[in-house]
Structures are given as structure tokens and as C-alpha cells.
Homo-oligomer: A and B are copies of this chain.
Amino acid sequence: MNDKELMQRAIQRSAENIDNGGGPFGAVIVKDGEIIAEAGNSVTSTNDPTAHAEVNAIRMATKKLGTYDLSGCVIYSSCEPCPMCLGAIYWARLDRLYFAGTKTDAQDAGFDDSFIYDELELDYTKRKLHTEHIMRDEALAAFNKWKQFEGKEEY
């Protein structure tokens, strides 16, 4: 399947997901030309606010491959990933991202994607989410323990 066919599959998944009681989002992950994971959004059906299509597909793909590292894989998302999903894509080290709908299209359909992008660009003192920074020195002790820990598995 080529890029257009794979994106068509992600979009088809997003449309079918509405019938299945989920939001209008779908994602497909491919490795070496083979689909290894595909998922819709399941926030409401699983009561999991992190269960976006991309996150679900990443969890499915890493479980299947037995590693948290999806280097060499490509993700096709029916919509531009929100900051949570884009962060997950970076942490999973996916090689490439294709998206179709935009964050503004998602906003028009009632989702907070653009709002969250705007919030992240603000200093934490200016965000609508009330945020306080406390006890940094105590936290540094744990980071120092990590730096000195010889048995650590870096990721």
C-alpha cells in the first residue's frame, strides 16, 4: 500500500470509529510496508483521556514489537496530532508522520487541540491551568540518584 492508501485507511478508521461510539479519529502504524497497528480514539468507551487514536496505535505497536522504540516505523493519522500525541510520537521515535485534518479542523469539530497548543507556548504562570512550581531542590536529589545509578536503562 502506498502513502495515500494508508492514509485512506486511517481516515476510514476515523469515520467508522464514530459508529463505534468513539471520536472521529484514526491512526495506522507501518513498519517495512506492513501495517503493525491501527486504532481509533477510545476516550469515552474506555474512560481513558489519553486513549487518542495515535496513542492507542503506539501502545499496540510497541506491545506487538516488544519494545518502546518504534524507530523505522511511520504513522498515518487522520488528523494533526494534538500535543499529547505528538509528544508520544517523539518519545516512541517514529521516523515519519503523515496527517490529513488539521488542528483547526479538530477545533471546528469541538475538540481542544488548538487551545492546548496555545497553552503550551505560554509560560506556566500565564496558562489557564493553575500551576505552581515548588520543591525543586528536593527533586534534584532524585535526578542525581539517577545520574549516578549504574544499572539504569536509558530511554
Q: Is A92 an interface residue (CB 8 A)?
A: yes
Q: In the complex, A47 Cα to B60 Cα: how many Å?
A: 10
Query: Assembly of this chain: how many copies?
Result: 2
Residues of B within 8 A of A93 (CB): 49
Residues of B within 8 A of A7 (CB): 134-135, 138
Q: In the complex, A39 Cα to B79 Cα: how many Å?
A: 30
Q: Are A109 and B15 in contact (CB under 8 A)?
A: no
Q: Is A1 an interface residue (CB 8 A)?
A: no
CB proximity of A35 to chain B, nearest CB, Å: 17
Q: Are A18 and B49 in contact (CB under 8 A)?
A: no
Q: In the complex, A18 Cα to B139 Cα: how many Å?
A: 13
Choose from B58, B135, B147, B153 the contact partner of A44 (Cβ within 8 Å). B153
Q: Are A129 and B87 in contact (CB under 8 A)?
A: no
Centre residue among A44, A69, A130, A139 by max chain B CB count within 10 A: A139
List, sorted by A's number, 5 A–B pairs whose CB atoms are closer than 8 Å. A78-B142, A84-B86, A90-B112, A105-B140, A121-B121
Q: What 12 new A-B contacts, CB under 8 Å, besides A18-B145, A87-B120?
A: A7-B135, A11-B139, A14-B139, A15-B141, A47-B67, A50-B50, A78-B139, A85-B87, A87-B87, A100-B134, A105-B136, A110-B154
